[in-house]
Structure 1
């Protein structure tokens, strides 16, 4: 299948790549974009945080790509992504890490061979190179309440960000998960699952190793406001278990009680493990 055979006029897709000292991995990312059969309808925005390696030299190799390269200090990955959205000229925007790659040369053509004009978000799956697993198929209300959609699998209509807001830059790694839950439950936003692997990504990056306290501190309000009446309370509060498990505070104690009240008493065990774990470690040091 070639672009000229598509039933609908293709969109311009803006691929946004946040980078910082990414010269070692960026080349494979850009090559996977250059290899796309859809290349004439792609722009690539590289939002660099002021790298001091040879990132710019790597970029100069890719003369066949429509690249907009900007290098300046930023306030983290979501600030870079927001800057890319504002610069993007595409009907849809897509975010990929500087150590990830599009899965095969027909990925974007396959996605947009669907009736995309009737949808606001198109998404597929991703392949985790470290774990050798595919994540994670089609989502429904319960699934997105309990886990995030990978942003490397998702194409967003750019106008959504004007309507629902940009990424919250105070969040370290979960601003995309936060916004996705809002978009998924918004009655006027139409999602389409495309049964394709969109990207191959690294499972050992920042998001895999960072607890986003800003996100989790507001998660109860987010989940109850978006899923109340759609899902059982037990499911909604089950989604808050990571907050209790990884953060020790008075607020998480209250959250643990609510989770237990809604049928999941393991939350209290998680919370109590924090102080008991501290004393166990202290005992081992002393004796």
Structure 2
């Protein structure tokens, strides 16, 4: 069905792939079955060697909305930035190569929310094989404890021009850092819609991995983005928790400046007590 002027692409679905031959047919079918038709699919193939490229090329011949970019990239977030740069749609959505839309009517239902009134629209996502739905509104401070799944989110493309794209220094958590920037910005107009957007395979790229650079920069990320959403005491309490996490990991040199920063701003005997207890516990545990 056509829900939008034919000469104006509403949505660019951006899908980075590499050796995704076992999944690619399923996800391409999930997209092709959508009852909403005014989209393009931009597939960024990082020079696959397992037939992924040939499968996409075959689909491209059948559907002019499919575009293939096949070239070496500097990781998944570099591919996503390239996808945004080449996108023609007013909105962008990132699809994992082993994931898929929840049902055939997802885009048709979401279409009515992708308007000039909003810059970022998000729904729910089903994690598989866990069969758990990540749902509900996301407040800026929710992103302190964990990222919002990017497959819940539709972004207005101009956000990436105004606020920057994925920061490539974060090899695993760049989507978390970007979502912190976008959700914490009061200038970005957001809307939650109670629809399940996608099925997300929980064994994906970032599962069970730690982005050391992201966590090394956490204090700066935290203070730059969350200060306007938290009272100072709570903000420094949260940084105190991070300080104790570093101590637990024996990263004492990184914990020390955060310890003094929190102490200067809170003068909290309770913080000192908890942190010193964690320090001696850590030293004792690792000494044994």
For the 8 Å contact 1:253–1:271, the answer to whether it is kept is no
Residues 16-25 or 204-213, more deviating = 204-213
For the 8 Å contact 1:116–1:122, the answer to whether it is kept is no
Closer, same or farther: CA 187–229 of 1 in aligned 2, 3 Å? closer
Whole-Å separation in 1 of the counterparts to 2:269 and 2:132 = 32
Q: How far has the Cα of 1:239 moved from its partner?
A: 7.2
Q: Find the counterpart in structure 2 of residue 205 from structure 1.
A: 204
Residues 22-31 or 113-122, more deviating = 113-122
User: Is structure 2 residue 52 aligned with structure 1 residue 50?
Assistant: no
Closer, same or farther: CA 238–125 of 1 in aligned 2, 3 Å? farther
Whole-Å separation in 2 of the counterparts to 1:197 and 1:256 = 42
User: Is structure 2 residue 73 aligned with structure 1 residue 71?
Assistant: no
Post-superposition CA distance 1:140-193 (Å, at most 9, x none): 132123221111111111111111111111211211111111111222110111
For the 8 Å contact 2:78–2:168, the answer to whether it is kept is yes
Q: Find the counterpart in structure 2 of residue 183 from structure 1.
A: 182
Q: How far has the Cα of 1:138 moved from its partner?
A: 0.8
**1:26-37 to 2 correspondences below 5 Å:** 26-37=24-35
How many residue pairs are counted as aligned between the two chains? 275
Whole-Å separation in 1 of the counterparts to 2:277 and 2:129 = 31
Whole-Å separation in 1 of the counterparts to 2:46 and 2:52 = 11
Q: Find the counterpart in structure 2 of residue 83 from structure 1.
A: 82
Equivalent position SS for 2:166: coil
Post-superposition CA distance 1:212-239 (Å, at most 9, x none): 0111111111111222242222564377
Any gaps of 5 or more consecutive residues in structure 2? none
Whole-Å separation in 1 of the counterparts to 2:42 and 2:248 = 35
Q: Find the counterpart in structure 2 of residue 160 from structure 1.
A: 159
Q: Could you state the TM-score of these two structures normalised by the residue count of structure 2?
A: 0.84
Post-superposition CA distance 1:110-160 (Å, at most 9, x none): 112226220000111111102221113211132123221111111111111
Q: Find the counterpart in structure 1 of residue 17 from structure 2.
A: 19
Q: Find the counterpart in structure 1 of residue 251 from structure 2.
A: 249
For the 8 Å contact 1:14–1:42, the answer to whether it is kept is yes
Q: How far has the Cα of 1:269 moved from its partner?
A: 6.9
Whole-Å separation in 1 of the counterparts to 2:48 and 2:170 = 22
For the 8 Å contact 2:45–2:53, the answer to whether it is kept is no
For the 8 Å contact 1:17–1:96, the answer to whether it is kept is yes
**1:1-287 to 2 correspondences below 5 Å:** 4=3, 12-39=10-37, 41-62=38-59, 63-64=62-63, 66-114=65-113, 116-231=115-230, 232-233=234-235, 236-237=238-239, 240=242, 244=246, 247-254=249-256, 255=258, 258=262, 278-280=286-288
